[in-house]
Amino acid sequence: MIAPHGGMLIDRILTGRDQTDCEDRARQLPAIKLDPSHLSELDNIASGLYSPLTGFMDEENYNSVLDSMRLADGTVWPIPIVLPVADATARALHVGSTIALAGDDGITYAIMQVRGTFVRNPKREAQAVYGTTDVAHPGVAQLHTESKTLAAGEIHLIKRVPVNISAEYHLDPKETRRAFEERGWKTIVAFQTRNPIHRAHEYLQKCALEMVDGLFINPLVGQTKEGDIPASVRMQCYHSMIDNYFPRDRVILATFPAPMRYAGPREAIFHAICRKNYGCTHIIIGRDHAGVGKYYGTYEAQEIFDKFTVDEIGITPLKFEHAFYCKKCAQMATSKTCPHENEDHVFLSGTKVREMLAAGEEIPSEFTRPEVASILQRGQPPF
């Protein structure tokens, strides 16, 4: 099986006596409250999804990621994973001290050994990660709502962070790796999405499935922007597709509990690394992967992989052209396989589906399967 990023799958989840002792100790510690997004990041670090990270980044790693898309030791890593804290809280933190990390619910989920605090420059971070400082970009807007002061340190998880989807779909990397091995899969392709599945998605997935042993449909269920279709509705759509249009013994559906950053090219690398940690050998990278609006070039998220060697990333991107339904071919196609003109093509996207739903329009079969259209239309109004 493919090695985790950095060579070792991180596990910072305490169990047994260690968990009990740490829980007792945490009651005596000063606590910092984390919002749902950073609680999710905490759990993702602990489960190994963000291997090789063992905690929230310090200033050296943070700057290295912004400048070179690498950790300080040279390991490829494109997105800063950081913990914003209030200035008053930061002043009370001391290098070498231990603090508790709690949620808004008052529950303590982890402890952290403080390695220091530092101050971010939001404009610099936005330009590096998102390629823009425009606050209309949802990732940039989110960045500006957070404190400029960041706390760094290694974490130990005491209690798992709740997820908003049934636990049976929330699989840690060690669990997906076990599931792949049990099925005898040696090559696995991941499909990342924050949208309900449509015909272009199905086409890319089935093309990829011709090349590998198994398909890992891994929809993002973390924080998304306003207007995106809720995870619960999207999960129904994926189920319907698997039940009706895929060989069930060649597909696994599990959720990706990270927040959506809309960071385009950098997030494509991040998504690939996380799926490598799940045990995937390939990942589908289509048109405008992790994009939003007009901030990124159509295939910029594919081109960024050319900046690194195969060994550095470790997972193979499957780069697909923009897929569409061709009325003359009467099937899905791309510019590589279809000779007909644009007026014969029906271009599909999650944005277009959301626009049709908002307008109360019926979704045609060229866009998505009727079972999926029915689920989406029952979900209105509004999402």
For each successive 10 residues of the chain (383 residues), what is the average pLDDT?
Answer: 96 96 94 94 98 98 98 98 92 91 94 96 97 96 96 97 82 97 98 86 93 95 73 86 93 93 96 98 93 93 95 95 88 90 81 77 82 80 45
Measured torsion, CA atoms of residues 192, 197, 203, 204, in degrees rounded to the nearest 10 = -10
Could you tell me where in the chain the CATH 3.40.50.620 domains are found? Answer: 167-378
Cα distances from 15 to residues 18, 49, 157, 171, in angstroms, run 6, 18, 9, 17
Q: The tokens of 48 are what?
A: 């190994």
Return the CATH architecture of domain 16-157. Answer: Roll (3.10)
- Residue in 44, 195, 218, 277 annotated catalytic: 195
Q: What pTM, to 2 d.p., does this model score?
A: 0.92
Q: CA dihedral defined by 260, 261, 267, 272, rounded to 10 degrees? A: -20
- Amino acid identity at 140: V
The torsion angle over the Cα atoms of residues 211, 197, 38 and 262, rounded to 10 degrees, is 90
For residue 383, the model assigns a pLDDT of: 40
Measured CA to CA, the distance from residue 83 to residue 24 in angstroms comes to 24
Is 195 labeled as catalytic in the residue annotation?
A: yes
121 annotated active-site: no
Torsion (CA) 266, 267, 269, 274 in degrees, nearest 10: 150
Q: Which residues contact 173 (CB under 8 A, 6 or more apart)?
A: 4, 9, 47, 48, 49, 51, 277, 278, 279
Q: Which CATH number fits domain 167-378: 3.60.15.10, 3.40.190.10, 3.40.50.620, 3.40.50.10490?
A: 3.40.50.620
Q: Where in the chain is the domain with CATH 3.10.400.10?
A: 16-157
Q: Which of 194, 234, 266, 275 is catalytic?
A: 194
Other Cβ atoms less than 10 A from the Cβ of 103: the count is: 18
Beta-strand relationship, 83-84 and 149-157: antiparallel
* Residue (of 251, 269, 255) closest to 224 by Cα position: 255
Note whether 179 and 172 are within 8 A (CB).
no
